Amino acid sequence: MGLPTITTSLLAAAPLLLYFLLPVLLRSIGAVAGIYLRKKTEGRHLLLLRLAGSNKKIVTDEDGGNTDDILNRDSLGSWEAVDASSLSESGSRDKAVPSNKNWTGIVGFFHPFCNAGGGGERVLWAAIRATQRQWPYAVCVVYTGDRDLKKQEMLHRVKTRFNIDLDPDTLFFIHLSTRHLVLPSTWPHFTLLGQSLGSMVLAWDAFGQLVPDIFIDTMGYAFALGLSKFLFPSVPTAAYVHYPTISTDMLDSLDPTSAVGSQGVNAGQGVGVRGVVKRAYWKLFAALYSRVGSTADVVMTNSTWTQGHIQKLWGPRRAARSCAHPTAVVYPPCPVEELEGAVEVSAASEARREKVILYIAQFRPEKNHKLILSAFAELRKRDVPACRDARLVLVGSVRDDSDSKRVYELRLLTNELGIRNHVDFHLDASWPDVLDWLRRASVGANGMWNEHFGIGVVEYQAAGLISVVHDSGGPKLDIVVDVDGEPTGYHATTATEFADGFEKALSIKDSLAIRQRARRSAQRFTEEEFARRWLAQMEVLTGMV
């Protein structure tokens, strides 16, 4: 066989060779990088287990400071110099560990914005509390971009904001320096892809400081999970998905002729050259998102709606991998017990209820305050006796100048609709003020299309309000559902339908019965129920280590 023939044969076989050899090459690169990171962080891994299982007096005596001082050092040199043999399991615990609580690994929670104080952070801290109680000798590590965060300050905020007590002896923070790479402002164009790639850099930053025994993403960074599996195939991973980064509804909303072509902030934008490019980009991103997300060993979603979309996106690939663990709904923990104790729902409290329609939501565009204002204006025009003197109260936080501008525009809209004297704005209200409105109001509103869950709606129900919510997402499928065959609230889509719902809610003669049903419905979303479902999934993960 001549040289030209051999050359031609090799060129012809090149695509086939590339198809088979490239995955092997990539896996080899990942394996080598993973070994490097494990070796680099081995000292820190062993020391954290020692600190969690024994008296932290070794830190105070030898370093003259506290655990945070050591963990927050910029250099890892001192950690790499630790003698691993001196940090072995033997002699590190003074007490016998209960046989059913003897797992002692490190659970890494990837939550770069752990100090945000929202519903996602409530999930994080409630998950850590449940994990600590079930496995008291395990270590929980939070990878955070809040670089100035001190442990005691954070624990205090968690206690005051969420009433959650955490064990400081088994909780540590790893501070990340590349969080700006997941901010939308960093990627003015191709934001979804930019943030996702940025999350991989952020995850590399995390693994460069500590490789955990279990890796859990609680913010929705699926690409970080994919990187973990690429580097450490044997490390179990889990995703708690609050909402899919991209969904089939988002893709459909680009088409103005589709059923959802008028919904959401990107409604009808799939026309023209720019629209065609946007649609192609979103479809490509959806394919990448499905690929990396499907690598998670355990997948939890916060609602039935989110579960359905994740199953569509990740399900086929997870099935191809023969993943034995189905996507589970783990409802986020809501302050149901606190509201039941703070807000009375009885015949006596009915006399103190006012004709107030309450909408608690941040002043973001997707919350669709304009829809609720339009519906309230239509209600006022009807002049229904039961709805006379009704007021609309908007309570929400203002994050930045864009939110302030949005509030200004909403105030102008109330003037245009002729309802200015019947609408109240309460910005950045304190929790006691929110509780006061929950006691006084009769109706709770939510105008967001495809709200992934709706903790605010659960709070309405726990406080006994009659909810009128958008006919989509979590409020429709999970929260405002019938109890004992009777309604707990109403669903709507258009301004007219919302006005109809408000009228029905304000016209009910025996409103106490529906308020009590709503409160019973909220029992499905307690912190205790969250902990039960969370631990069921954690048992799967610990069994894989």
Question: Are 217 and 345 in the same domain?
Answer: no
> Taking all residues of the chain, what is their mean pLDDT, rounded to a whole number?
86
Q: What is the CATH number of the domain that holds 238?
A: 3.40.50
Question: Are 329 and 255 in the same domain?
Answer: no
Q: Is residue 49, in this structure, part of any structural domain at all?
A: yes
Q: Is residue 16, in this structure, part of any structural domain at all?
A: no
- DSSP characters for 185-239? GG-SSSHHHHHHHHHHHHHHHHHTT---SEEEESS--HHHHHHHHHH-TTS-EEE
Q: Is residue 14, in this structure, part of any structural domain at all?
A: no
Question: Are 495 and 396 in the same domain?
Answer: yes
Residue range 162-193, pLDDT digits in tens = 889 999 999 999 999 999 999 988 999 889 99
Cα separations (Å) of 124 from 115, 205, 218?
11, 20, 7
Question: Are 365 and 473 in the same domain?
Answer: yes
Quick one: average pLDDT of 277-303? 93
Cα separations (Å) of 108 from 27, 202, 213, 214, 303?
23, 14, 7, 6, 23
- pLDDT surpasses 80 at 22: no
Q: Is the distance from CB of 334 to CB of 526 less than 8 angstroms?
A: yes
Q: Is the distance from CB of 339 to CB of 462 less than 8 angstroms?
A: yes
Q: Is residue 19, in this structure, part of any structural domain at all?
A: no
Question: Are 266 and 307 in the same domain?
Answer: no
Q: What is the pLDDT of residue 20?
A: 58
- pLDDT surpasses 80 at 240: yes
Question: Are 417 and 281 in the same domain?
Answer: no
Q: Is residue 373, in this structure, part of any structural domain at all?
A: yes
Q: What is the pLDDT of residue 261?
A: 54
Of 262, 293, 324, the position where a domain reaches its end is 293
- What is the span of the domain harbouring residue 270? 245-293
Q: What is the pLDDT of residue 75?
A: 33
Question: Are 373 and 355 in the same domain?
Answer: yes
Q: What is the CATH number of the domain that holds 343?
A: 3.40.50.2000
Q: Is residue 225, in this structure, part of any structural domain at all?
A: yes
Q: What is the pLDDT of residue 66?
A: 47
Q: Is residue 539, in this structure, part of any structural domain at all?
A: yes
Q: What is the pLDDT of residue 225?
A: 97
Question: Are 380 and 479 in the same domain?
Answer: yes
Question: Are 392 and 455 in the same domain?
Answer: yes
Q: What is the pLDDT of residue 386?
A: 86
pLDDT band for position 96 (50/70/90)?
A: very low
* Of 248-262, 378-392, 465-479, minimum mean pLDDT range: 248-262
Of 266, 293, 320, the position where a domain reaches its end is 293
Question: Are 305 and 407 in the same domain?
Answer: no
Quick one: average pLDDT of 373-393? 93
Quick one: average pLDDT of 462-489? 95
Question: Are 328 and 349 in the same domain?
Answer: no
How many structural domains are present in the chain?
A: 3
Q: What's the angle, vertex CA 312, arms to CA 308 and CA 314, rounded to 5?
A: 110
Of 293, 321, 352, the position where a domain reaches its end is 293
Question: Are 314 and 186 in the same domain?
Answer: yes
- pLDDT surpasses 80 at 481: yes
Between 356 and 270, whose confidence is greater? 356
- pLDDT surpasses 60 at 88: no
Quick one: average pLDDT of 447-466? 94
Between 88 and 344, whose confidence is greater? 344
Q: Is residue 495, in this structure, part of any structural domain at all?
A: yes
Quick one: average pLDDT of 516-541? 95
